[in-house]
Amino acid sequence: MKKLIIFSFLLAFMGCSDLVDFTEVENPNLSEASVVGQLNSSTIWLSGIERQLSLLINEIVINAEIASDNYTNDQTFFNQFLDGLSIIAQDDDIADLQFDLHRLREMAVFGKVEVGPNDENYSTDTEAEYNYFEGLAYMYAGMYFTGLPAEAGGAPLTDAANYAQAITLFDAAIALNPLPEYYAAKARVHYLLGNKAEAVAAATAATDASADFLRAATFDEQEDPDNVMEDALYERGTFDDLQPLPTLDFLDPKYSFNTAQEDDPVYYMKAEEAWLIQIEAAIVDGDFGTARTIMSALLDLVNSRPARSIDDSIEGRTERDIGSRPDSACVVVNGREGLVLDRNEGNVSIPNVSGTSLTQEDIDGMTMTDPALELLYRTRQEIFIAEGMRLVDMGVKFVISETEQLQNDNVSQGTVGTEAQIPSFIADVADQLDAITFDKGTCTATTVINLNEILVFNKDDKAVLPFN
């Protein structure tokens, strides 16, 4: 009986212990088991990768555009050091860019290795996308850094090695699903490597697949990430005020308010680029006819791209010293008319995929070789404005962040990637990249330097004009 009583007490206590177990806690968030091994998880993971690409594009575009001659920024909380081409390892924005780039790679790899193979509905299209996004991570690594690790804490790969990885992955994607943007990505990498034949082949394959394809990084106005460049250019706070070079005024703002749900996309891979590669190869080869023909086709394509009519009357061109920058249609920039818009005379029409001041007359009158290259690079600058490409055309590359350097045993000062790449001819004009003179009375504006001319003049430098 006594034993029975004790047993009953023990039983009651054990039952009771559940009631008084105050140490039980439950994390309501998703564990790995909720992601890996679930039906359709590969598709949701792919959406996550797309989202990550948008985060990366945000970091690339805002910083690369400020660092380039496209935009000046001396009175906003966006990065001002980069505006003066001061590139140091302690720059937080560079660290963020590097992080987002690696994160894109890690997400793609996790998709390929863990999520996809454990999802019954994993498709070859999705697998192709995983390869494509992983390839993009390597491609951007090569575009913006002279060296970056390919794994957590790994030794930095040179930009060429990163490009090689990218090509392998784009080929894998193409083998699974030959989309034009996969070819275009491959073409860009070959272009940047200076592999003219391979670049033209891939670019041609891209335009053959689609003469006007577009691949966009999309943005969620409501849930984030929204388009940061759009914030900077249009949906501004009271003092954010990026100013374009007056020669590019008519292309600004490339991004403007779309809907309360979706922000303007960034078309980071588009047919124009594949055409431009083919044109540049033709110019370098001395094949003027082909160059002019493709250039005309490119002009048609650009002119067929949509433009948005927007109310940009809030744009004062500078709020700090109103009237100090060109803001009227009368302004002639570097002797050219029509580049500056009057934003207080009703809506303005701004192309939001590609725009250019290039005309058929320019094409017809194009002379070889350097003037053609200069015209081409001016056109590249216009078509790629607010996409982060101009900095690449300038041959400037960032530096491995201090955060990586301190925690990565394979990186020390002097290791590849730890020095910024700024071609000497760019460093010489770093203070003049965004500089202009403006005479309001005569409606005349002049850029202090013609960077396209400088680039072409230095075309033999391996950092720029890769086909030369």
- Looking at the Cβ atoms of 117 and 237, the one nearer to other proteins is 237
Find the shortest distance in angstroms from Cβ 7 to other proteins: 26
Positions 47 through 76 that interact with other proteins (CB under 8 A):
47-48, 50-52, 73-75
258/369 with CB nearer other proteins: 258
Using the contact rule CB under 8 A, the part of the chain among 45-53, 124-132, 242-250, 274-282 near other proteins is 45-53
Q: What character string, x for contact with other proteins (CB under 8 A) and - otherwise, covers 248-277?
A: ------------xxx---------------
For β-strands 243-244 and 71-72, DSSP reports them as antiparallel
Residue with Cβ nearer other proteins (146 or 452): 146
Q: Is 114 in the site for other proteins (CB under 8 A)?
A: no
| Window 207-246: contact mask with other proteins (x via CB under 8 A) | -----------x-x--x-------------xxx-------
Q: Does 34 bind other proteins (CB under 8 A)?
A: yes
Nearest-CA neighbor of 353 among 267, 259, 244, 235? Answer: 267
Cβ–Cβ under 8 Å, residues 85 and 73: no
DSSP per residue over 130-166, as a string?
HHHHHHHHHHHHHHHBSEEESSTTPPEEEHHHHHHHH
For residue 265, which of 297, 306, 294 has the smallest C-alpha distance? 306
Stretch that binds other proteins, among 4-12, 25-33, 245-253, 298-306 (CB under 8 A): 25-33
| 18: contact with other proteins by CB under 8 A | no
Query: Which residues, 6+ apart, have CB-to-CB distance to 307 below 8 Å?
Result: 349, 350, 351, 352, 355
Q: Does 401 bind other proteins (CB under 8 A)?
A: yes
User: Residue 231 to residues 198, 235, 237, 240, 399: CA-CA distances in angstroms?
Assistant: 38, 4, 8, 8, 26
**Piece in contact with other proteins (CB under 8 A), picked from 4-12, 84-92, 246-254, 440-448:** 84-92
Residues 144-173 within binding reach of other proteins (CB under 8 A): 148-149, 151-154
Residue 116 found at the interface with other proteins (CB under 8 A): no
297-356 residues in contact with other proteins (CB under 8 A) are 319-321
Q: Which amino acid is at 332?
A: V
If the CB atoms of residues 5 and 406 are measured against other proteins, the closer one turns out to be 406
* C-alpha to C-alpha distances, 397 to 51, 146, 147, 330, 436, nearest whole angstrom: 25, 6, 9, 37, 25
Q: Which of 81, 288, 425, 457 binds other proteins (CB under 8 A)?
A: 81
CA 102/CA 152 separation, integer angstroms? 8
Assess contact for 70 and 381: CB atoms under 8 A.
Answer: yes
Of 350, 395, 360, 358, whose CA–CA distance to 374 is shortest? 358
- Least Å distance, CB 407 to other proteins, is 4
